[in-house]
Protein backbone atom coordinates (compact mmCIF):
# COMPACT_ATOMS: atom_id res chain seq x y z
CA UNK A 1 0.00 0.00 0.00
CA UNK A 2 1.44 3.40 -0.98
CA UNK A 3 1.78 5.86 1.86
CA UNK A 4 0.25 9.23 0.76
CA UNK A 5 -1.11 11.94 2.99
CA UNK A 6 -1.30 15.69 3.40
CA UNK A 7 1.97 17.07 4.75
CA UNK A 8 3.27 20.40 5.95
CA UNK A 9 6.07 21.08 3.48
CA UNK A 10 9.03 22.89 5.02
CA UNK A 11 11.44 24.64 2.70
CA UNK A 12 14.68 26.30 3.68
CA UNK A 13 15.05 29.69 2.02
CA UNK A 14 18.33 31.14 0.80
CA UNK A 15 18.57 33.43 3.84
CA UNK A 16 18.38 30.47 6.22
CA UNK A 17 14.76 30.97 7.31
CA UNK A 18 12.03 28.38 6.97
CA UNK A 19 8.64 28.67 5.35
CA UNK A 20 5.79 26.22 5.74
CA UNK A 21 2.53 25.73 3.90
CA UNK A 22 -0.17 23.11 3.73
CA UNK A 23 -0.01 20.95 0.62
CA UNK A 24 -2.13 18.34 -1.01
CA UNK A 25 -1.21 14.65 -1.33
CA UNK A 26 2.53 14.41 -1.83
CA UNK A 27 5.03 11.66 -2.55
CA UNK A 28 7.62 11.43 0.23
CA UNK A 29 10.43 10.45 -2.14
CA UNK A 30 9.70 13.46 -4.36
CA UNK A 31 9.69 15.75 -1.33
CA UNK A 32 13.04 14.41 -0.18
CA UNK A 33 14.62 14.89 -3.62
CA UNK A 34 13.19 18.41 -3.86
CA UNK A 35 14.56 19.30 -0.42
CA UNK A 36 18.02 18.08 -1.45
CA UNK A 37 17.87 20.17 -4.61
CA UNK A 38 16.91 23.30 -2.64
CA UNK A 39 19.78 22.65 -0.24
CA UNK A 40 22.25 22.32 -3.13
CA UNK A 41 21.05 25.53 -4.75
CA UNK A 42 21.08 27.63 -1.59
CA UNK A 43 24.37 26.39 -0.11
CA UNK A 44 26.91 26.86 -2.96
CA UNK A 45 29.89 26.60 -0.63
CA UNK A 46 29.16 22.87 -0.28
CA UNK A 47 28.86 22.19 -3.99
CA UNK A 48 32.02 20.31 -5.05
CA UNK A 49 31.47 21.09 -8.73
CA UNK A 50 32.36 24.77 -8.32
CA UNK A 51 35.52 25.45 -10.32
CA UNK A 52 38.62 27.29 -9.25
CA UNK A 53 38.90 30.60 -11.15
CA UNK A 54 42.14 31.92 -12.66
CA UNK A 55 41.75 35.41 -14.09
CA UNK A 56 44.68 36.63 -16.20
CA UNK A 57 44.51 40.34 -17.05
CA UNK A 58 46.90 42.11 -19.40
CA UNK A 59 47.38 45.89 -19.34
CA UNK A 60 47.03 47.93 -22.56
CA UNK A 61 46.96 44.82 -24.77
CA UNK A 62 45.13 45.62 -27.99
CA UNK A 63 42.77 43.04 -29.42
CA UNK A 64 44.88 41.99 -32.42
CA UNK A 65 48.34 41.61 -30.86
CA UNK A 66 48.05 37.84 -30.36
CA UNK A 67 48.64 34.92 -32.66
CA UNK A 68 45.12 33.60 -32.05
CA UNK A 69 43.74 37.00 -33.12
CA UNK A 70 45.59 36.94 -36.43
CA UNK A 71 48.95 38.61 -35.79
CA UNK A 72 51.60 36.87 -37.93
CA UNK A 73 54.62 38.28 -36.08
CA UNK A 74 53.83 38.00 -32.37
CA UNK A 75 54.86 34.85 -30.49
CA UNK A 76 52.14 33.95 -27.95
CA UNK A 77 52.04 30.12 -27.97
CA UNK A 78 50.59 29.72 -24.48
CA UNK A 79 47.76 32.21 -24.92
CA UNK A 80 47.07 30.71 -28.34
CA UNK A 81 46.87 27.29 -26.67
CA UNK A 82 44.22 28.64 -24.29
CA UNK A 83 42.19 29.76 -27.30
CA UNK A 84 42.47 26.25 -28.77
CA UNK A 85 41.25 24.71 -25.50
CA UNK A 86 38.52 27.26 -24.87
CA UNK A 87 36.28 29.86 -26.47
CA UNK A 88 37.62 33.01 -28.12
CA UNK A 89 35.49 36.17 -28.13
CA UNK A 90 36.28 38.12 -31.28
CA UNK A 91 34.25 41.17 -30.31
CA UNK A 92 35.09 42.04 -26.72
CA UNK A 93 35.14 45.66 -25.57
CA UNK A 94 35.60 47.93 -22.56
CA UNK A 95 32.98 50.49 -21.59
CA UNK A 96 35.69 53.02 -20.66
CA UNK A 97 39.21 52.73 -22.03
CA UNK A 98 41.50 53.67 -19.15
CA UNK A 99 43.07 51.47 -16.47
CA UNK A 100 41.43 52.72 -13.27
CA UNK A 101 37.89 52.90 -14.63
CA UNK A 102 38.04 49.63 -16.54
CA UNK A 103 39.43 47.72 -13.55
CA UNK A 104 36.68 49.15 -11.33
CA UNK A 105 34.16 48.04 -13.96
CA UNK A 106 35.67 44.55 -14.00
CA UNK A 107 35.46 44.27 -10.20
CA UNK A 108 31.94 45.65 -9.88
CA UNK A 109 30.30 44.68 -13.17
CA UNK A 110 29.24 48.33 -13.48
CA UNK A 111 29.63 51.31 -15.78
CA UNK A 112 31.65 54.26 -14.49
CA UNK A 113 28.45 56.25 -14.04
CA UNK A 114 27.45 53.78 -11.34
CA UNK A 115 30.70 52.81 -9.61
CA UNK A 116 31.94 56.42 -9.61
CA UNK A 117 35.66 55.73 -10.19
CA UNK A 118 36.86 58.41 -12.60
CA UNK A 119 40.40 59.06 -11.41
CA UNK A 120 43.42 57.21 -10.04
CA UNK A 121 42.99 58.21 -6.38
CA UNK A 122 39.37 57.38 -5.58
CA UNK A 123 38.85 54.07 -3.78
CA UNK A 124 35.79 51.88 -3.90
CA UNK A 125 33.78 52.44 -0.74
CA UNK A 126 33.45 49.55 1.72
CA UNK A 127 29.86 49.12 0.60
CA UNK A 128 30.83 49.07 -3.08
CA UNK A 129 33.72 46.65 -2.53
CA UNK A 130 31.37 44.29 -0.67
CA UNK A 131 29.46 43.89 -3.95
CA UNK A 132 32.50 43.07 -6.11
CA UNK A 133 32.97 39.59 -7.46
CA UNK A 134 35.99 38.99 -5.21
CA UNK A 135 34.11 39.90 -2.02
CA UNK A 136 31.07 37.87 -3.03
CA UNK A 137 33.20 34.84 -3.89
CA UNK A 138 34.97 35.11 -0.55
CA UNK A 139 31.65 35.13 1.31
CA UNK A 140 30.66 32.07 -0.72
CA UNK A 141 33.67 30.16 0.58
CA UNK A 142 36.32 30.87 -2.05
CA UNK A 143 39.96 31.54 -1.16
CA UNK A 144 40.79 34.86 -2.83
CA UNK A 145 44.20 35.89 -4.16
CA UNK A 146 45.48 38.96 -6.00
CA UNK A 147 48.81 39.54 -7.74
CA UNK A 148 50.02 42.63 -9.60
CA UNK A 149 48.53 45.96 -10.55
CA UNK A 150 45.35 46.67 -8.59
CA UNK A 151 44.68 49.97 -10.32
CA UNK A 152 41.67 51.24 -8.35
CA UNK A 153 42.42 54.01 -5.86
CA UNK A 154 45.52 54.64 -3.77
CA UNK A 155 44.62 52.47 -0.75
CA UNK A 156 45.12 48.77 -1.27
CA UNK A 157 42.42 46.39 0.10
CA UNK A 158 45.04 44.00 1.48
CA UNK A 159 42.88 42.66 4.32
CA UNK A 160 40.07 41.72 1.96
CA UNK A 161 42.21 39.05 0.31
CA UNK A 162 43.55 35.75 1.63
CA UNK A 163 46.68 36.13 -0.52
CA UNK A 164 47.97 39.55 -1.54
CA UNK A 165 50.93 40.41 -3.78
CA UNK A 166 49.42 43.52 -5.34
CA UNK A 167 50.79 47.03 -5.75
CA UNK A 168 49.29 50.52 -6.20
CA UNK A 169 49.73 52.79 -9.19
CA UNK A 170 51.62 51.63 -12.26
CA UNK A 171 54.37 49.69 -10.51
CA UNK A 172 57.81 49.34 -12.06
CA UNK A 173 59.34 46.67 -14.27
CA UNK A 174 62.52 47.03 -12.21
CA UNK A 175 62.32 48.37 -8.66
CA UNK A 176 65.27 49.68 -6.70
CA UNK A 177 68.00 47.03 -6.45
CA UNK A 178 65.68 44.63 -8.34
CA UNK A 179 67.28 42.58 -11.10
CA UNK A 180 64.33 40.30 -11.93
CA UNK A 181 61.74 41.59 -14.39
CA UNK A 182 58.33 42.34 -12.84
CA UNK A 183 56.50 39.96 -15.19
CA UNK A 184 58.69 37.07 -14.05
CA UNK A 185 58.23 38.02 -10.39
CA UNK A 186 54.49 37.93 -10.87
CA UNK A 187 54.76 34.47 -12.38
CA UNK A 188 56.70 33.39 -9.28
CA UNK A 189 53.99 34.89 -7.06
CA UNK A 190 51.31 32.93 -8.90
CA UNK A 191 53.22 29.68 -8.34
CA UNK A 192 53.50 30.55 -4.64
CA UNK A 193 49.72 30.90 -4.45
CA UNK A 194 49.11 27.61 -6.24
CA UNK A 195 51.56 25.74 -4.02
CA UNK A 196 50.16 27.13 -0.76
CA UNK A 197 47.82 24.75 1.07
CA UNK A 198 44.11 25.28 0.41
CA UNK A 199 42.58 21.88 1.10
CA UNK A 200 39.35 21.37 -0.83
CA UNK A 201 38.46 25.06 -0.74
CA UNK A 202 37.87 26.48 -4.24
CA UNK A 203 39.93 29.55 -5.05
CA UNK A 204 39.90 32.60 -7.28
CA UNK A 205 43.27 34.06 -8.26
CA UNK A 206 43.54 37.32 -10.20
CA UNK A 207 46.91 37.87 -11.88
CA UNK A 208 46.94 41.46 -13.08
CA UNK A 209 50.01 41.98 -15.25
CA UNK A 210 51.60 45.35 -15.89
CA UNK A 211 52.69 44.11 -19.30
CA UNK A 212 52.61 45.44 -21.91
CA UNK A 213 51.89 48.88 -20.37
CA UNK A 214 54.59 51.52 -20.83
CA UNK A 215 56.87 52.70 -18.05
CA UNK A 216 55.67 56.22 -18.80
CA UNK A 217 58.39 58.87 -19.27
CA UNK A 218 61.20 56.37 -18.69
CA UNK A 219 64.21 56.43 -20.99
CA UNK A 220 63.10 53.03 -22.24
CA UNK A 221 59.35 52.87 -21.80
CA UNK A 222 58.81 49.19 -22.59
CA UNK A 223 61.78 47.37 -21.04
CA UNK A 224 61.52 43.62 -21.72
CA UNK A 225 62.87 40.71 -19.74
CA UNK A 226 66.57 40.31 -20.73
CA UNK A 227 65.73 36.86 -22.07
CA UNK A 228 63.63 38.53 -24.77
CA UNK A 229 66.09 41.12 -26.02
CA UNK A 230 66.80 39.21 -29.22
CA UNK A 231 63.14 38.66 -30.09
CA UNK A 232 61.78 40.41 -33.18
CA UNK A 233 65.14 42.03 -33.93
CA UNK A 234 64.75 41.36 -37.66
CA UNK A 235 60.99 41.99 -37.79
CA UNK A 236 59.52 44.84 -39.83
CA UNK A 237 56.28 45.89 -38.16
CA UNK A 238 53.55 47.15 -40.49
CA UNK A 239 52.35 50.71 -40.00
CA UNK A 240 48.59 51.19 -39.91
CA UNK A 241 46.96 52.88 -42.87
CA UNK A 242 45.44 55.43 -40.48
CA UNK A 243 48.80 56.35 -38.90
CA UNK A 244 49.16 59.45 -41.04
CA UNK A 245 48.98 63.21 -40.66
CA UNK A 246 45.93 63.21 -42.93
CA UNK A 247 43.93 61.15 -40.41
CA UNK A 248 45.34 63.18 -37.51
CA UNK A 249 44.17 66.41 -39.15
CA UNK A 250 40.59 65.09 -39.24
CA UNK A 251 40.44 64.87 -35.44
CA UNK A 252 38.74 67.60 -33.39
CA UNK A 253 41.20 70.33 -32.29
CA UNK A 254 40.83 69.26 -28.65
CA UNK A 255 41.98 65.71 -29.53
CA UNK A 256 44.90 66.99 -31.60
CA UNK A 257 46.11 68.88 -28.50
CA UNK A 258 45.44 66.00 -26.10
CA UNK A 259 47.67 63.68 -24.11
CA UNK A 260 47.22 61.14 -26.88
CA UNK A 261 49.23 63.34 -29.23
CA UNK A 262 51.78 64.23 -26.55
CA UNK A 263 52.58 60.56 -26.01
CA UNK A 264 52.69 59.99 -29.76
CA UNK A 265 55.66 62.38 -29.83
CA UNK A 266 57.34 60.22 -27.16
CA UNK A 267 56.95 57.01 -29.14
CA UNK A 268 56.04 57.32 -32.80
CA UNK A 269 57.28 60.60 -34.28
CA UNK A 270 60.02 58.92 -36.32
CA UNK A 271 59.91 55.63 -38.27
CA UNK A 272 62.87 54.28 -36.30
CA UNK A 273 61.29 55.07 -32.95
CA UNK A 274 58.00 53.54 -34.10
CA UNK A 275 59.68 50.23 -34.96
CA UNK A 276 61.60 50.10 -31.67
CA UNK A 277 58.54 50.85 -29.56
CA UNK A 278 56.43 48.17 -31.24
CA UNK A 279 59.34 45.71 -30.97
CA UNK A 280 59.58 46.24 -27.20
CA UNK A 281 55.79 46.19 -26.83
CA UNK A 282 55.74 42.77 -28.51
CA UNK A 283 58.63 41.56 -26.35
CA UNK A 284 56.64 42.40 -23.21
CA UNK A 285 53.65 40.47 -24.56
CA UNK A 286 55.77 37.40 -25.25
CA UNK A 287 57.31 37.66 -21.78
CA UNK A 288 53.82 37.69 -20.26
CA UNK A 289 52.87 34.71 -22.42
CA UNK A 290 55.83 32.75 -21.02
CA UNK A 291 54.66 33.35 -17.43
CA UNK A 292 51.15 32.30 -18.35
CA UNK A 293 52.67 29.09 -19.68
CA UNK A 294 54.44 28.53 -16.35
CA UNK A 295 51.20 29.05 -14.45
CA UNK A 296 49.26 26.65 -16.67
CA UNK A 297 52.02 24.04 -16.36
CA UNK A 298 51.86 24.30 -12.57
CA UNK A 299 48.09 23.85 -12.62
CA UNK A 300 48.61 20.68 -14.65
CA UNK A 301 51.38 19.43 -12.35
CA UNK A 302 49.12 19.92 -9.33
CA UNK A 303 46.20 18.16 -11.00
CA UNK A 304 44.12 21.37 -11.03
CA UNK A 305 43.85 22.01 -14.74
CA UNK A 306 40.58 20.10 -15.12
CA UNK A 307 38.92 21.92 -12.22
CA UNK A 308 39.96 25.48 -13.04
CA UNK A 309 38.12 28.04 -15.14
CA UNK A 310 40.71 30.21 -16.94
CA UNK A 311 39.87 33.65 -18.30
CA UNK A 312 42.32 35.87 -20.21
CA UNK A 313 41.52 39.49 -21.05
CA UNK A 314 42.92 43.03 -21.18
CA UNK A 315 41.82 46.16 -19.33
CA UNK A 316 41.74 48.21 -22.56
CA UNK A 317 43.17 48.43 -26.04
CA UNK A 318 46.05 50.54 -27.34
CA UNK A 319 46.98 52.83 -30.20
CA UNK A 320 50.18 52.06 -32.07
CA UNK A 321 50.18 55.44 -33.86
CA UNK A 322 46.75 55.07 -35.50
CA UNK A 323 45.38 58.57 -36.23
CA UNK A 324 48.62 60.05 -34.95
CA UNK A 325 47.82 58.97 -31.37
CA UNK A 326 49.30 56.87 -28.58
CA UNK A 327 47.78 55.08 -25.55
CA UNK A 328 43.98 54.59 -25.46
CA UNK A 329 40.97 56.59 -24.10
CA UNK A 330 39.16 57.44 -27.34
CA UNK A 331 36.29 55.43 -28.86
CA UNK A 332 38.13 53.93 -31.82
CA UNK A 333 38.48 50.17 -32.30
CA UNK A 334 42.18 49.99 -31.40
CA UNK A 335 41.41 51.62 -28.04
CA UNK A 336 38.18 49.96 -26.92
CA UNK A 337 38.49 46.44 -28.32
CA UNK A 338 40.30 43.77 -26.28
CA UNK A 339 41.14 40.05 -26.41
CA UNK A 340 38.99 37.67 -24.36
CA UNK A 341 39.40 33.91 -23.94
CA UNK A 342 37.36 31.67 -21.63
CA UNK A 343 38.51 28.10 -20.90
CA UNK A 344 36.00 25.93 -19.07
CA UNK A 345 37.53 22.44 -18.70
CA UNK A 346 34.06 20.93 -18.48
CA UNK A 347 33.11 21.99 -21.98
CA UNK A 348 32.73 19.22 -24.56
CA UNK A 349 35.56 18.97 -27.08
CA UNK A 350 33.23 20.24 -29.76
CA UNK A 351 33.44 23.68 -28.11
CA UNK A 352 37.26 23.70 -27.95
CA UNK A 353 38.79 26.26 -30.28
CA UNK A 354 35.47 27.87 -31.17
CA UNK A 355 34.79 31.58 -31.50
CA UNK A 356 31.95 33.85 -30.41
CA UNK A 357 30.93 36.87 -32.47
CA UNK A 358 28.55 38.41 -29.92
CA UNK A 359 29.70 41.64 -28.29
CA UNK A 360 31.11 41.02 -24.80
CA UNK A 361 31.95 43.79 -22.33
CA UNK A 362 34.34 44.07 -19.39
CA UNK A 363 31.30 44.51 -17.11
CA UNK A 364 30.26 40.95 -18.06
CA UNK A 365 33.26 39.34 -16.34
CA UNK A 366 32.10 39.76 -12.72
CA UNK A 367 28.65 38.21 -13.27
CA UNK A 368 30.29 35.41 -15.26
CA UNK A 369 32.67 34.54 -12.40
CA UNK A 370 29.74 34.51 -9.97
CA UNK A 371 27.66 32.40 -12.36
CA UNK A 372 30.32 29.68 -12.53
CA UNK A 373 30.60 29.74 -8.72
CA UNK A 374 26.86 29.39 -8.26
CA UNK A 375 26.51 32.83 -6.67
CA UNK A 376 23.67 35.10 -7.71
CA UNK A 377 24.95 38.49 -8.94
CA UNK A 378 23.68 41.55 -7.05
CA UNK A 379 21.15 43.77 -8.79
CA UNK A 380 23.76 46.54 -8.83
CA UNK A 381 25.72 44.72 -11.55
CA UNK A 382 24.98 45.98 -15.06
CA UNK A 383 26.85 43.29 -16.97
CA UNK A 384 25.52 39.88 -17.98
CA UNK A 385 27.21 36.49 -17.54
CA UNK A 386 28.96 35.26 -20.66
CA UNK A 387 28.48 31.64 -19.68
CA UNK A 388 25.55 30.96 -22.06
CA UNK A 389 27.70 32.15 -24.96
CA UNK A 390 30.61 30.00 -23.81
CA UNK A 391 28.31 26.98 -23.68
CA UNK A 392 26.61 27.86 -27.02
CA UNK A 393 23.19 28.08 -25.40
CA UNK A 394 20.42 30.05 -27.03
CA UNK A 395 20.09 33.39 -25.29
CA UNK A 396 18.93 36.88 -26.09
CA UNK A 397 22.00 39.09 -26.34
CA UNK A 398 22.84 42.76 -26.70
CA UNK A 399 23.18 44.30 -30.12
CA UNK A 400 24.34 47.70 -28.84
CA UNK A 401 26.10 49.25 -25.86
CA UNK A 402 27.08 52.65 -24.46
CA UNK A 403 30.63 54.00 -24.29
CA UNK A 404 31.81 56.73 -21.91
CA UNK A 405 35.12 58.39 -21.06
CA UNK A 406 34.96 61.30 -18.63
CA UNK A 407 38.31 60.80 -16.87
CA UNK A 408 41.02 63.52 -16.79
CA UNK A 409 39.05 65.94 -18.99
CA UNK A 410 41.81 68.58 -18.94
CA UNK A 411 44.13 66.37 -21.00
CA UNK A 412 41.70 63.77 -22.46
CA UNK A 413 38.67 65.27 -24.25
CA UNK A 414 35.49 63.63 -22.88
CA UNK A 415 33.64 61.37 -25.27
CA UNK A 416 30.63 59.11 -25.32
CA UNK A 417 28.96 57.01 -27.94
CA UNK A 418 27.10 53.92 -29.05
CA UNK A 419 28.59 50.77 -30.57
CA UNK A 420 26.27 48.36 -32.36
CA UNK A 421 26.97 45.19 -34.32
CA UNK A 422 27.43 47.37 -37.38
CA UNK A 423 27.86 51.01 -36.38
CA UNK A 424 30.15 53.13 -34.20
CA UNK A 425 28.72 56.50 -33.18
CA UNK A 426 31.25 58.76 -31.43
CA UNK A 427 30.25 62.00 -29.71
CA UNK A 428 32.83 64.52 -28.46
CA UNK A 429 30.68 66.06 -25.75
CA UNK A 430 32.81 69.10 -24.83
CA UNK A 431 33.64 70.42 -28.28
CA UNK A 432 31.91 73.55 -29.48
CA UNK A 433 29.91 72.81 -31.46
CA UNK A 434 29.50 69.15 -30.44
CA UNK A 435 31.38 66.92 -32.89
CA UNK A 436 29.98 63.59 -34.08
CA UNK A 437 31.54 60.71 -36.03
CA UNK A 438 29.88 57.70 -37.63
CA UNK A 439 31.55 54.54 -38.95
CA UNK A 440 30.20 51.43 -40.62
CA UNK A 441 32.51 48.97 -38.84
CA UNK A 442 31.02 46.03 -40.72
CA UNK A 443 32.29 47.35 -44.05
CA UNK A 444 35.03 49.60 -42.67
CA UNK A 445 36.56 47.76 -39.68
CA UNK A 446 39.44 50.23 -39.24
CA UNK A 447 37.07 53.21 -39.32
CA UNK A 448 38.73 55.00 -42.19
CA UNK A 449 35.61 56.71 -43.58
CA UNK A 450 33.59 59.04 -41.33
CA UNK A 451 29.98 58.98 -42.57
CA UNK A 452 28.50 61.53 -40.14
CA UNK A 453 28.09 64.17 -42.84
CA UNK A 454 26.88 61.81 -45.59
CA UNK A 455 23.26 62.59 -46.54
CA UNK A 456 22.50 58.93 -47.24
CA UNK A 457 23.38 58.06 -43.61
CA UNK A 458 21.48 60.91 -41.97
CA UNK A 459 18.74 58.58 -40.67
CA UNK A 460 21.32 56.26 -39.11
CA UNK A 461 23.08 59.20 -37.45
CA UNK A 462 19.84 60.53 -36.00
CA UNK A 463 18.80 57.08 -34.76
CA UNK A 464 22.14 56.49 -33.00
CA UNK A 465 22.09 60.01 -31.56
CA UNK A 466 18.74 59.17 -29.99
CA UNK A 467 20.05 55.81 -28.74
CA UNK A 468 23.02 57.64 -27.18
CA UNK A 469 20.64 59.91 -25.29
CA UNK A 470 18.42 57.04 -24.15
CA UNK A 471 21.23 54.71 -23.08
CA UNK A 472 23.01 57.51 -21.22
CA UNK A 473 19.85 58.34 -19.26
CA UNK A 474 19.25 54.67 -18.45
CA UNK A 475 22.68 54.43 -16.79
CA UNK A 476 22.02 57.22 -14.29
28's torsion region: left (phi>0), alpha (psi -120 to 50) or beta?
A: alpha
Q: How far is it, in rounded angstroms, from Cα 476 to Cα 253?
A: 29
Contact residues for 289 (Cβ-Cβ < 8 A; gap 6+): 75, 76, 77, 78, 79
pTM of the model: 0.89
CB 260 within 8 A of CB 326: yes
Angle at 211 between CA 335 and CA 78, to 5 degrees: 100
pLDDT in tens, the chain (476 residues): 333 333 333 333 333 333 333 333 333 333 233 333 333 333 343 334 899 999 999 999 999 999 999 999 999 999 999 999 999 999 999 999 999 999 999 999 999 999 999 999 999 999 999 999 999 999 999 999 999 999 999 999 999 999 999 999 999 999 888 999 999 999 999 999 999 877 789 999 999 999 999 999 999 999 999 999 999 999 999 999 999 999 999 999 999 999 999 999 999 999 999 999 999 999 999 999 999 999 999 999 999 999 999 999 999 999 999 999 999 999 999 999 999 999 999 999 999 999 999 999 999 999 999 999 999 999 999 999 999 999 999 999 999 999 999 999 999 999 999 999 999 999 999 988 899 999 999 999 999 999 999 999 999 999 999 999 999 999 87
* 401 contact partners, CB below 8 Å, separation of at least 6: 93, 95, 359, 361, 418, 419, 471
Helix (H, G, I), strand (E, B), or coil: what is residue 369? Answer: helix
Ramachandran region, residue 432 (left: φ > 0; alpha: ψ -120 to 50; beta: rest): beta
Beta strand pairing call for 163-167 and 143-149: parallel
Amino acid sequence: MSFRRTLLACVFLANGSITAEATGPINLRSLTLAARQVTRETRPSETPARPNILFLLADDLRFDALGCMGDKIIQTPNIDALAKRGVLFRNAFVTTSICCVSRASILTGQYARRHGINDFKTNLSAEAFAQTYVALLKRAGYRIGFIGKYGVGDTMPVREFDFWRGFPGQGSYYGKMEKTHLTRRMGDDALDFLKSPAGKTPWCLSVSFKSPHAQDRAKREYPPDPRDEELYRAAAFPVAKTATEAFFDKLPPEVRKSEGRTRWTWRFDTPEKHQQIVRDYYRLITGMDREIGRIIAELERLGLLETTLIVFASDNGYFLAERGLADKWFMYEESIRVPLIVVDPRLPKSRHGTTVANMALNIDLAPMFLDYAGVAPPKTMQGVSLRPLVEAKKTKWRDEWFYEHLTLPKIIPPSEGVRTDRWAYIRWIDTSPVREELYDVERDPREEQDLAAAPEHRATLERLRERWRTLRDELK
